[in-house]
Structure 1
């Protein structure tokens, strides 16, 4: 009987998530995350994010970390790296263009943060991604040399 009641309570709790004690409400958390993602290429001030949630800067920072497990700066950095990885995989943009598109002040800082996060520099990471891509049927690789008369 106790087992059944415990299971029922766990099911109800997962259906209606409650904010972590001291954290942001789900509405505020979604609002600020959306704001960050929409403006990822721009300079984002924590005070501006706090204002959007109608909280002081310090209260917002504590509540955000309580809700996400990361400080606002770390969460923003993580999202910028994720966006950079997507652009590296899916586009031919230069690393300078990618760094600016993702809100880093310059390529050197982007490379430093990317390497610290991923353990490999973005140029080498791009090379790994290109090498891991499945080749399309009939596509020739740069290292392939066709000899005249060979079949």
Structure 2
């Protein structure tokens, strides 16, 4: 996938946002989201993200959720599913390849998370997408 696509947030524009104070600054939010998207296929620790923002793990987690409406892990999971959906739609990669490229530890975990998120397993979702083309 082209690098320019990796640095664009894949979450919908209407992602939940809290209006209370105490969130990340816009610069820190941009920085951490870019870091996540650049390393989406890797194992990401909240401690690493917090360190990139020069914040403690707990302060970062609260501020991130305040800014985005999602915990860091939920936001990462959302981005991984969004990237997986793009790969399912636009490539012929196996679900195993897609799961690993999107940062899931294995295909079983990917299928579980995808099904919980989308209400349908990734194979069936691929079949639906291909049928609707």
| TM-score of the superposed pair, with normalisation by structure 2 | 0.85
Deviations 1:73-108 (A, max 9, x none): 000000000000000000000000000000000000
Give yes or no for the alignment of 1:129 onto 2:132: no
Q: Which residue is equivalent to 1:142?
A: none
Q: Which residue is equivalent to 2:100?
A: 100
Q: What value does the CA root-mean-square deviation take over the aligned residues?
A: 0.9
Give the paired residue count: 115
Gapped regions of structure 1 (runs ≥ 5): 1-18, 134-151
1:1-150 aligned within 5 A: 20-133=20-133
Measured in 2, the distance between the counterparts of 1:40 and 1:67 equals 20
Secondary structure of the structure 2 residue equivalent to 1:40 = coil
Deviations 1:26-66 (A, max 9, x none): 00000000000000000000000000000000000000000
Gapped regions of structure 2 (runs ≥ 5): 1-18
More relative contact order in 1 or in 2 (CA 8 Å, sep 6+)? Answer: 2
Measured in 2, the distance between the counterparts of 1:20 and 1:54 equals 21
Give the deviation of 1:20 after TM superposition.
4.9
Greater Cα radius of gyration, structure 1 or 2: 1
| TM-score of the superposed pair, with normalisation by structure 1 | 0.75
Moved segments of 4+, more than 6 Å: none
